[in-house]
Amino acid sequence: MSAYSGFRFMWMVVMFDLPVLSKRQRKRAAKFRHDLLDLGFQMAQYSVYMKFCGQRDAAEALAKRVEKCVPREGRVSILTVTDNQYGRMRIFFGGGRRPSEAQRGQLVLL
């Protein structure tokens, strides 16, 4: 396996279900979404954010940073997948399939 294969690079997916019944809960949920954006995540769906995070060590460090932002209430799940797995994602828009955005070349600096 090449040192730069799609099995070494990682993507992080953060999925959450936060309560938004009170004004305080809505504010905490909005802050969490903004924190994810500040950490470089992109919104895939309203409560699903994704980020390319390089190798496994970087993914672990990023997971710890996300963990510090988690609100007291609600549920937050972090899933880490390889670049190869992410590239096999099936995306549908209005019934039609489009290729994953991950199907692009990776820039490798030596």
Segments making up each domain of the chain, as ranges: 10-98
Reported as a single tens digit per residue, the pLDDT across 18-56 is 999 999 999 999 999 999 999 999 999 999 999 999 889
The predicted structure's pLDDT at residue 90:
83
Measured CA to CA, the distance from residue 92 to residue 80 in angstroms comes to 22
Measured CA to CA, the distance from residue 101 to residue 106 in angstroms comes to 12
More confident residue, 107 or 11: 11
Q: Which residues contact 82 (CB under 8 A, 6 or more apart)?
A: 6, 7, 8, 9, 10, 11
Whether the per-residue pLDDT at 99 is higher than 90: the answer is no
Q: What amino acid is encoded at 93 in this protein?
A: F
pTM above 0.85, yes or no: no
Angle of CA points 59, 88, 32, to nearest 5°? 40
Q: Report the topology of domain 10-98.
A: Alpha-Beta Plaits (3.30.70)
